[in-house]
Amino acid sequence: MVSAGWGKGAPPEVSVVVSSYGRAGFLAGLLEALEAQELGVEKFEVVLVDNGSPDGTWAALQGALSRTGIRLLAVRLDRNAGAGGGRDAGLELARGTVVAFTDDDCLPAPGWLAALTGPLLGPDQAPTVVQGRTLPWPEDGPACGPWARTVWVEEPTWLFETCNIAYRRADLLGAGGFAGAGEAPRGATGRAFGEDALLGWAVVGAGATLVFQPGALVHHRHLPASYPQWLGELRGRGGFPALVGRSPFGRRALWHRFFLAPRTAATDLALVGLTLGLRRGRRGRRVWLLALLPWLVLALPEARGRTGRRLPVRLAQLALGDLVGQAWLAAGSVRHRTVVL
């Protein structure tokens, strides 16, 4: 189904592709943000895929088609095809030479699309991937609780997060699109993940350059979660060794090629310091405290940001979470024979 403006004029150069699953309540905000783009609604189109949602997503899209002023194509898949499959369905229908991706739980700033696609619309047609900046949406954070999930991307990353990224369509098709269910690794929950990283690595492997555009800002909503749910989601770290092992570019997504992030490195250092400290008795206490210091420096800002409990309690909760995450990383490293610390 299409909006009234879909067939007017020549197809635009830019297509925005969104795959949505079970987020009917977020779609109005997303479409309002896209309607407010400074690029101008006549210069882009939106392909929004209902990826087999079990809620009222399709009804919400049908209502939006009659109201929106943007060129909007809505398509429904009978069953969920996974994140990559939903985006591939949108990519197949996109008419633009440039394809920008964002998610159904995102709110692009007015200047987002112009900044993100600018490097791809100029005379230089060299293969390029453009990544934008993603920050949490400040207005819904307090209501979603201290353990709410959101996304930060404040510098170029080699995970190529599709909440805020753009490619030339030809480069996407040349790379074969997103990894299918049998190609992408599966996390501890059994779901495929990392399709966006695998696609980015494939495009870069074919000669593209990664460009970061801080002015291409997307706000990511907070998704409510409890502390036990936050702990449970750390199981997903066990899939990173499998993901890293799929491409020679995988190590570039890590910190110093072996660590998932600076804080996982600090956690490892604290554990090594604790082991040495226990062996040396009282003299080892100083060794452990020195080894713990980097972790404290990195964890304190997050502990302060997760309000509602005293700082020592939050630090203890984060420490337990980091230990759980390291255990899953270790198990994944052994299982997939690829070391990620």
Q: What are the residues whose beta carbons fall under 8 Å from the beta carbon of 135, sequence distance 6 or more?
A: 152, 154, 217, 218, 219, 220
Cβ atoms 47, 125 nearer than 8 A: no
pLDDT, tens digit only, all 341 positions of the chain: 998 889 888 889 999 999 999 999 999 999 999 999 999 888 999 999 999 999 999 999 999 888 999 999 999 999 999 889 999 999 999 999 999 999 999 999 999 999 999 999 987 778 899 999 999 998 887 888 999 999 999 999 999 999 999 999 999 999 999 876 567 777 666 677 889 999 999 999 999 999 999 999 999 999 999 999 999 999 999 999 999 999 999 999 999 999 999 999 999 999 998 888 777 666 667 778 889 999 999 999 999 999 999 999 999 999 999 999 999 999 999 999 999 99
Integer angstrom CA distances of residue 228 from 61, 157, 170, 193, 298: 34, 28, 43, 22, 22
Number of Cβ within a 10 Å radius of residue 337: 9
Annotate 145-171 with b (16+ C-beta within 10 A) or e (fewer). bbbbbbbebeeebbbbbbbbbbbbbeb
Cβ atoms 175, 181 nearer than 8 A: no
Q: Identify the structural domains of the chain with CATH numbers, from first to last.
A: 14-224 (3.90.550.10), 226-341 (no CATH)
Q: What are the residues whose beta carbons fall under 8 Å from the beta carbon of 210, sequence distance 6 or more?
A: 128, 129, 131, 156, 158, 200, 204
Q: What are the residues whose beta carbons fall under 8 Å from the beta carbon of 18, sequence distance 6 or more?
A: 30, 46, 47, 48, 49, 90, 101, 102, 103, 104
196-214 pLDDT per residue, tens: 999 999 999 999 999 999 9
